[in-house]
Amino acid sequence: MQYQSQAVAKPYFIAAIALFTGQILFGLIMGLQYVVGDFLFPEIPFNVARMVHTNLLIVWLLFGFMGATYYLIPEESETELFSPRLAIITFWVFLAAGVATILGYLAVPYATLAKFTGNDLLMTMGREFLEQPLPTKVGIVIVVLSFIFNVLMTMLKGRKTAISLVLVLGLVGLAVFFLFSFYNPHNLVKDKYYWWWVVHLWVEGVWELILGAILAFVLIKVTGVDREVVEKWLYVIITMTLITGIIGTGHHYYWIGAPAYWQVWGSVFSALEPIPFFMLTIFAFNMVNKRRREHPNQAAILWALGTGVMSFLGAGVWGFLHTLAPVNYYTHGTQLTAAHGHMAFYGAYAMVVLTIISYAMPILRGRAANSNKAQVVEMWSFWLMTVAMVFITLFLTAAGVLQTWLQRISTTPMSFMATQDSVAIFYWMREGAGVVFLIGLIVYISSFFIKGETKAK
């Protein structure tokens, strides 16, 4: 560890993994409720399980992004963090707010939670992914502003690199677009229009900048390739991301009452969105092939390569499958969307957080890399989780194709619930793959506790 203040990243990474585990458990509960409707009812209704599953996803990824930033910014800036104490304070505030919110979801009816958290004063609750009570949203803004202030002050007193600038641009964008979660117009078209400014412009916009910066940082460290080469790739990827991702928001405007020209603009630009992910894959493999040294942390290299491949497949290929307006007319809101969402989030964001954790955690514990035995176990976890996610995606894709046919194309269309019964076999298989994913995550966590001869710094 080059700078002592990098140690503040460690609790962020630990919290991220703990919340990741919670997300997977609630995913399994929800997956089982697809086929056993009254499972854990009324203690954990389906809508609550889904809300906890998706909210935990967002929160653990944010913890991962913040931990990654606190780890890499001191090295990129060649100076200690501006305020390690502020970083620890914001960690506990964010963790307390997150845990209190999840407990609130589980302990009281959602309407009661809204009543006692000031939703009457400023209505922000009740929208998918943005269900958080008003105090939680305000807390997120305060935490993120404090976090960005800490990062910017660190950068101002040190070196500025392309990686740190791209990362901060992504983080500032993350903060700015989250402000639209406070805007909840009565007009449903406007509501959905601006709701996507948070949801889409996060995951298909500014989050991709964060993804690119973290991956570039790790690749420089594990390959020894010249920074200039990595930064040129990063500039091109980020440019393509912004060109395709911002106007590509239009593929969400097809059927919400927005002008019809979005069907053309959305189709054209979102069809181009796989390009930056394909470039990300080429980038990762190219850097590893050109490496100037054999880094002892082979597990981190595997995660980095996996991020490129899986993000291209999940966000690129599976996104393209149903992004064109004539296709989306039939597939909108089916299990094809769920298939795309699962692999895209895992490939692009979960894996890049696991990449930086795999690289940084051994260093935070005083060594360059874990023992060979621990790395072998970690690589097993990589394959278990990744292969399980591939099968989850394939089963949901099969369910989505059959659902589209039975419910929307057939000359004798079936009702939604009758269709769900017809695709139940795929939900069972998805649940089985989810159990394998959980086993992979347990194996991953266990790798942190495996001893052996570690690699020296």
Tokens 């089916």 — which residue? Answer: 334
Torsion angles phi and psi, residue 108, rounded to 5: -130, 155
Residue 401: pLDDT band (50, 70, 90) is very high
Chain segment 246-275, per-residue pLDDT in tens: 999 999 999 999 999 999 999 999 999 999
From residue 9, alpha-carbon distances to 90, 329, 361 in Å are 12, 44, 9
CB contact at 8 A, 12 and 66: yes
How far is 10 from 356, CA to CA, in rounded Å?
A: 11
pLDDT of residue 292: 77
Is 457 a residue whose pLDDT tops 90? no
How far is 393 from 252, CA to CA, in rounded Å?
A: 21
In the chain, % of residues over pLDDT 70: 99
* SS3 assignment, position 44: coil
From residue 206, alpha-carbon distances to 241, 251, 341 in Å are 9, 17, 17
pLDDT of residue 294: 84
Chain segment 141-176, per-residue pLDDT in tens: 999 999 999 999 999 999 999 999 999 999 999 999
Taking residues 418-424, what's their average pLDDT? 96
pLDDT of residue 361: 96
Is 50 a residue whose pLDDT tops 90? yes
pLDDT of residue 293: 76
What residues form DSSP beta bridges with 455?
Answer: 369
Chain segment 187-217, per-residue pLDDT in tens: 999 999 999 999 989 988 899 999 999 999 9
pLDDT of residue 204: 87
From residue 145, alpha-carbon distances to 6, 133, 176, 202, 204 in Å are 19, 19, 10, 17, 22
Which residues have a Cβ under 8 Å from the Cβ of 226 and sit 6 or more positions away? Answer: none
From residue 222, alpha-carbon distances to 218, 270, 293, 369 in Å are 6, 33, 8, 11
How far is 80 from 95, CA to CA, in rounded Å?
A: 24
How far is 72 from 92, CA to CA, in rounded Å?
A: 21
pLDDT of residue 265: 95
Q: What is the DSSP letter of 252?
A: G
